[in-house]
Chains A and B, each alone.
Chain A
Amino acid sequence: MAEISWAKPKHPRKAKRSERLKFLIGGGLILASVVYLLVSGTLQGARYFITVDDLLKDGAYQGKTVRISGAVDGESIEYDSENAIIRFEIVNIPGEFDDLASALHAALADSAASRLSILVEDEAIPDLLQHEAQAILTGALEPDGIFHASELLLKCPSRFEETSPEGLSAIPEHN
């Protein structure tokens, strides 16, 4: 009668040498292709994420696809709904800041801050495109001096951030 053992085999069955070689070659090929995929994709698609100041000061960025972030000036927003063209201006936000909402507010209040005209084609106008929103744009600064953006992301930190209620103490207490 055959015996069944549930114990662990003491010496795991060794794979044949030829099989092991196949695994090694296969594994190596897979690893190489994944690395190739990542490296080539990164080299092709990498975009510097820079400030408006960097873009305007360093000529090397002109014409190159980059990612920039700036504060939206609400008064400059124009939308040509017939042709789906959005135009607006953004103002430089310093690279380092603690609180986005106040950084956006301060940037727009600073008359000396550098400004950049933006053109976005064939896009519906986003709900969040409004004064003091942060625009994160991907595109290139063309020789016409306008930043032609192909991708537009917006953040409105001031809208729903928890602030403290204003004028609470001004009104006399009930009880």
Chain B
Amino acid sequence: MLAEIGLASLALALLLALYAAAVCLLGIRAGSETLLRSGRNAALLTFPATLLATATLVVALMTEQYQMSYVWSVTDPQTPAVYRFTALWGSQRGSLLFWSLLLSLFTFGAISLSWRTEGRLMPCAIATMMATLAFFLGLSLLLENPFERWWILPDMPESRQVVETALIPPGAIAPSMENLAASATGLNPLLRHFGMIIHPPMLYLGFVGFTIPFAFALAALASGDLSTGWIKATRRWTLIAWVFLSLGLILGGRWAYDVLGWGGYWGWDPVENAAFLPWLVGTAFIHSVMIQEKRGMLKTWNMALVVATFSAVMFGTFATRSGVIESVHSFARSEVGFPMLAFWAFMTLIALTLLLWRWQRGELRGEHQFANILSRETMFVLNNVIFIALFAAIFWGSFGLPIISELFMGVEVTIGPATFEFFVVPLFVAMYILMGIAPLSAWGSTSARRLGKAIIMPFSLTILSVLLLMLAGTGAPVSIFGYGVVLFAGYVALFEIYRGARARHRGLNESWMRAVTALFRRNQRRYGGYIVHLGVTVIGIGVIGSTVFQTEVQHSLARGEMITIKDYGLRYDDYIRAQAVDGRMMNIAELTVLRNGAQVARIRPRVDDYPDMPMTIAGAHSTLENDFYVLLIGGNRERATFRIYINPLVNLVWWGGIVLIIGTVIAAYPKVVPARRVRKREAESAR
């Protein structure tokens, strides 16, 4: 029964999405308000319909309906409840449905919020969003159906007796529950981690979220309403999508760091890169869109960026799921590859054609031109150039080079992590320098003298910090230069906040606390943006520390023996075998961590024996200064081997991520305070 409910609601959602897209387009043509309203209502209804389909699958997962092949393939009777739930995105079929759910949710939000204000853009935006939703729902229904069940056809020859279909085949009987439960596969142990519980939803929210700005941009191009309306309607959506994508990337890194046991968090794997690419174009867009709002410039460019972001999302999804790119992430070659490629090409082509058409008609001409090389708009353009160069380099290395060489040379040529680092390090250095200079320059034009004056304070602080680092004996000149560049960007952000607060403190006689609060309230986006910059600075410090100064050793220890690595001591105390609640055996080493002779922690790195593979779980003692990270390689009670990493400042990568999120929330938070104040004032005057 559950499967039928799921199937019916999935089919209903697909019909609603198709209807909404078609009726909206017809409504625009016929100029009929009734048709448009009907289209809107159908679009709004796709959310409850998709929600019902997803809820059905969740119920099936939670109540162990192993006849449903998806449930059978991602859970088994030992799977704990939390992983039963997260199994929704544990494999392709469930995650596609989950993707549709998020898209319908975003669409619901966008329609509800913008229907009144953006009447002209709405019909076409709805059609775009619904076409995208219909595509994903169609994939779910026709190619990757999560509601398929196992059936036995007794009349068929033995090799073809077991079939997997959504609808009940004639004469079919259901297999026995015990047998299904006994043979169920269970969730991949690598995915049983806190990071995996929230990493995929965050990444999907980020991916899906970029559909909204794309839909509005396409609507602006199609309707000819090329004012900043589409940007205003999608500003917050873009930031929301961006922050989720950032969070997804950071959590993915955290998962790799905790689970994959190589002491790192980013490996330049094509699938990681595929998720990073939309982030790069999205970040460029978030910056350049401000130039259009403030100066009416770069209209074509912004359109191109928003199309590129959506296109990168679709391409990334295709690359991850089709198995076309050799990656540790991509598994089976899937049937969804070709339709995804076709959809990606179709949407990108439509958007580019419309863009070219409007551009040719001169409707996207800027209202100003770049007048001064030191102006803020030039800095923003440079920032965009850097992000696009990063995009180009990473795309080239991950997809361009392998695909082109395969096509034209008959042999695939790839590049490794070292080459990616060779590409991106200089570009990131340039990015941090610009992150420092751009906020100090003014719109329109800036004289070199004025810029020089503004730079003095943060630059002096940077020099001072660099000197202190040198005095403290912090490693190679390269890393000190890196720290200098990163710190400069951070000091500028802090200095700008200080400057703004000081002006209010002096001019309006406000207390410092009040001045800072008022500053953030008055100009959320600008100062929220500075907090984001601070977050990126903190991440930069963490990345330099954990890559340049990492220590990695492997040692074999007898029980009771201790080794010293830098100022840390590690003593091997004991080795135990224990059974976890789900039945797997765990081999646990008990270790004492000492620092400068004093005990600071007890850690328990372990190796879990899953039926098909072992899984190494690191033991770590984390401080803000560094991570003392230990893997159990093997051994017995008398003697065991450990791989030990000291990863300096690695926690700043995660903490920087949190600062970045806080900054984005400040920037995107709806302004509710003034409205409340207005009401309060009205109430007071009425008295």
Contact A167-B183, Cβ < 8 Å, known A84-B554, A173-B173 = yes
Interface residue A146 (Cβ < 8 Å from any Cβ of B)? no
Cα distance A129–B369 in the bound complex, in angstroms: 59
Q: Which of B332, B370, B396 contacts A100 (CB 8 A)?
A: B332
Residue of A37, A48, A100 with most partner-chain B CB within 10 A: A37
Do A162 and B91 have beta carbons less than 8 Å apart?
yes
Cα distance A22–B448 in the bound complex, in angstroms: 14
Cα distance A156–B189 in the bound complex, in angstroms: 12
Contact A156-B613, Cβ < 8 Å, known A12-B368, A167-B179 = yes
Cα distance A115–B11 in the bound complex, in angstroms: 51
Cα distance A16–B373 in the bound complex, in angstroms: 11
Cα distance A86–B412 in the bound complex, in angstroms: 27
Do A45 and B183 have beta carbons less than 8 Å apart?
no
Which residues on A sit within 8 Å (CB–CB) of B173?
173, 175
Main secondary structure on B side of the interface with A: mixed
Q: Which of A79, A127, A154 contacts B616 (CB 8 A)?
A: A127
| Minimum CB distance partner of A83 in chain B | B554
Do B423 and A38 have beta carbons less than 8 Å apart?
yes
Do A127 and B401 have beta carbons less than 8 Å apart?
no
Which residues on B sit within 8 Å (CB–CB) of A143?
none
Interface string of A8-36 (1 = CB under 8 A from B): 11001111100100110010001000100
Nearest Cβ on chain A to B58's Cβ, whole angstroms: 19
Interface residues of A in 39-82 (CB under 8 A from B): 41-42, 44-50, 54, 67, 69, 79, 81-82
Interface residue A166 (Cβ < 8 Å from any Cβ of B)? yes
Which residues on B sit within 8 Å (CB–CB) of A54?
411
| Minimum CB distance partner of B388 in chain A | A34
Do B393 and A37 have beta carbons less than 8 Å apart?
yes
Interface residue B69 (Cβ < 8 Å from any Cβ of A)? yes
Interface residue B150 (Cβ < 8 Å from any Cβ of A)? yes
Q: Which of B72, B385, B423 contacts A37 (CB 8 A)?
A: B423
Do B370 and A15 have beta carbons less than 8 Å apart?
yes
Contact A47-B413, Cβ < 8 Å, known A42-B419, A168-B150 = yes
Do A12 and B179 have beta carbons less than 8 Å apart?
no
Nearest Cβ on chain A to B263's Cβ, whole angstroms: 9
Interface residue B296 (Cβ < 8 Å from any Cβ of A)? yes
Interface string of B173-202 (1 = CB under 8 A from A): 111110110011100100000000000000
Do A46 and B368 have beta carbons less than 8 Å apart?
no
Nearest Cβ on chain A to B333's Cβ, whole angstroms: 7
Interface size on B, residues (CB 8 A): 76
Which residues on A sit within 8 Å (CB–CB) of B179?
165, 167-168, 171
Do B150 and A138 have beta carbons less than 8 Å apart?
no
Interface residue A142 (Cβ < 8 Å from any Cβ of B)? no
Interface residue B372 (Cβ < 8 Å from any Cβ of A)? yes
Do B175 and A165 have beta carbons less than 8 Å apart?
yes
Residue of B158, B269, B373, B401 with most partner-chain A CB within 10 A: B373
Do B413 and A41 have beta carbons less than 8 Å apart?
no
Do A15 and B631 have beta carbons less than 8 Å apart?
no
| Minimum CB distance partner of B645 in chain A | A124
Contact A100-B411, Cβ < 8 Å, known A38-B392, A169-B158 = no
| Minimum CB distance partner of B643 in chain A | A124
Do A165 and B371 have beta carbons less than 8 Å apart?
no
Interface string of A142-175 (1 = CB under 8 A from B): 0000000001011111011111111111011111
Interface residue B164 (Cβ < 8 Å from any Cβ of A)? yes
Interface residue A92 (Cβ < 8 Å from any Cβ of B)? no
Cα distance A99–B334 in the bound complex, in angstroms: 10
Cα distance A49–B419 in the bound complex, in angstroms: 15
Interface residue B328 (Cβ < 8 Å from any Cβ of A)? yes
Cα distance A151–B414 in the bound complex, in angstroms: 13
Of B22-30, B241-249, B633-641, the one contacting chain A is B633-641
Which residues on B sit within 8 Å (CB–CB) of A13?
368-369, 371
Nearest Cβ on chain A to B157's Cβ, whole angstroms: 11
Residues of A within 8 A of B (CB): 8-9, 12-16, 19, 22-23, 26, 30, 34, 37-38, 41-42, 44-50, 54, 67, 69, 79, 81-82, 84, 98-101, 122, 124-128, 130, 136, 138, 151, 153-157, 159-169, 171-175
Query: 10 A-B Cβ contacts within 8 A?
Result: A13-B371, A34-B392, A45-B418, A46-B415, A67-B414, A126-B261, A127-B614, A130-B613, A167-B183, A169-B158
User: Apart from A47-B416, A128-B613, A159-B613, what are 10 other A-B pairs with CB-CB below 8 Å?
Assistant: A19-B371, A38-B392, A41-B419, A136-B328, A162-B332, A165-B162, A165-B175, A167-B183, A169-B154, A171-B175
Residues of B within 8 A of A (CB): 69, 72-73, 91, 150, 152, 154, 158, 161-162, 164, 173-177, 179-180, 183-185, 188, 261-262, 269, 296, 326, 328, 331-333, 365-373, 378, 382, 385, 389, 392-393, 396-397, 401-402, 411-419, 422-423, 426-427, 554, 556, 612-616, 631, 633-635, 641, 643
